[in-house]
């Protein structure tokens, strides 16, 4: 029976590895705002980073993490630079309640099994380039930048909707990363007590989806 389970685990892990291809590039040089740029400060009360993760069994968990600071710099209506900082200790699950494991999941995500928030309390994103984008519904720009998680910095690129008005700036974007590229890896071993738990808890998809919503004002 154990041999059958081991074969099943190996097969499921091979499937999992094909579901989230490499998403990162080499980190780039961070864009700097020129002296003429207008800098908009991120409104942390109205900005949020939402996350979604899943097991290969299709069990989905989702929640939010707080943005603690950031800025967006514009020159003549063009986005020149930008960044935001994430409080990793603010990870919250919104799909669970205390009765079905909310605190357990949140603690698990903050622990050494995943984001190690005691050692790495913040993550950040810094823009390396921004260019106008046409032909993609709901997007106005292509944004490239450096994403730092657990002190690992890699480059990512994604479409975003950036709106500049007299009242300020709003920016939204959705993108996915392969968590393994940032060292967010829960290692597991197959022990006599662990085969069932491994199957239930450790076969997590490599892909994490993020939904960023920023609001900023001068």
pLDDT tens sequence for the chain (218 residues) = 444 444 444 444 444 444 456 889 999 999 999 999 999 999 999 999 999 999 887 789 999 999 999 999 999 999 999 999 999 999 999 999 999 999 999 999 999 889 999 999 999 999 999 999 999 999 999 999 999 999 999 999 999 999 999 999 999 999 999 999 999 987 544 444 455 555 545 578 889 999 999 999 99
- 83: closest CA among 132, 54, 122, 139? 122
pLDDT at 14: 40
Q: Which residues contact 209 (CB under 8 A, 6 or more apart)?
A: 51, 52, 53, 174, 175, 176
pLDDT at 201: 53
Tokens of 122: 């913040």
User: What whole-number distance in Å separates Cα of residue 172 and Cα of residue 170?
Assistant: 7
Q: Would strands 122-132 and 38-42 be described as parallel, antiparallel, or unpaired?
A: unpaired
Encode pLDDT of 184-200 as tens digits. Answer: 987 544 444 455 555 54
User: What whole-number distance in Å separates Cα of residue 35 and Cα of residue 49?
Assistant: 29
Q: What does each C-alpha distance from 173 to 3, 144, 157, 189, 215 come to in angstroms? A: 45, 12, 11, 37, 12
- 105: closest CA among 163, 96, 23? 96
Which residue ranges form the domains of the chain, and what is each CATH number? 23-188+203-217 (2.40.128.110)
pLDDT at 9: 41
pLDDT at 34: 96
């Amino acid at each position: 029976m154990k041999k059958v389970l081991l074969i099943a685990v190996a097969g499921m892990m091979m499937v999992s590895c094909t579901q989230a291809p490499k998403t990162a590039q080499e980190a780039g040089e961070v864009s700097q705002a020129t002296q003429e740029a207008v800098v908009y400060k991120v409104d942390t009360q109205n900005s949020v980073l939402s996350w979604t993760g899943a097991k290969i069994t299709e069990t989905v968990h989702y929640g939010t993490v707080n943005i603690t600071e950031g800025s967006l710099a514009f020159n003549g209506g063009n986005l020149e630079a930008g960044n935001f900082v994430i409080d990793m200790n603010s990870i919250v699950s919104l799909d669970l309640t205390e009765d079905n494991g909310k605190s357990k999941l949140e603690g698990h995500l903050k622990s050494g099994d995943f984001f190690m928030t005691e050692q790495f309390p913040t993550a950040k994103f810094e823009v390396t380039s921004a260019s106008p984008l046409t032909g993609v519904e709901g997007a106005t720009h292509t944004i490239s930048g450096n994403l730092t998680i657990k002190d690992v910095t890699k480059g990512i690129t994604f479409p975003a909707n950036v709106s500049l008005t007299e009242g300020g700036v709003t920016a939204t974007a959705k993108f996915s990363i392969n968590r393994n590229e940032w060292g967010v890896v829960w290692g597991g071993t197959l022990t006599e007590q662990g085969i069932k738990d491994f199957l239930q808890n450790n076969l997590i998809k490599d892909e994490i989806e993020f939904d960023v919503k920023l609001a900023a004002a001068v």
